[in-house]
Amino acid sequence: MALDGPLNNDEIFTEQGVKFIIDKELFEEAKPISVDFVESEMGAGFLLKSALARKGDDCCATTSGGCGSGCSS
């Protein structure tokens, strides 16, 4: 995940007051995408889930990921 300004090939939308910017091609490949804020004993952060998780075969692609999460099993 990277933070930058919108580019010509980006999809821009707002959900519940939060503005999201994502590459259009990636959005088409990954949708549906859900973003949740979660808190646990390990800390708090954003949990991202998408269709890409079902396509991959490595540890990062087969589960949902979030800011600061790793590929440990």
pLDDT in tens, 29-70: 999 999 899 999 999 998 989 988 766 554 444 334 454 444
Give tens-digit pLDDT for 1-39.
667 789 999 999 898 898 889 999 999 999 999 989 999
Close Cβ partners of 38 (under 8 Å, ≥ 6 residues apart): 44, 45, 46, 47, 66
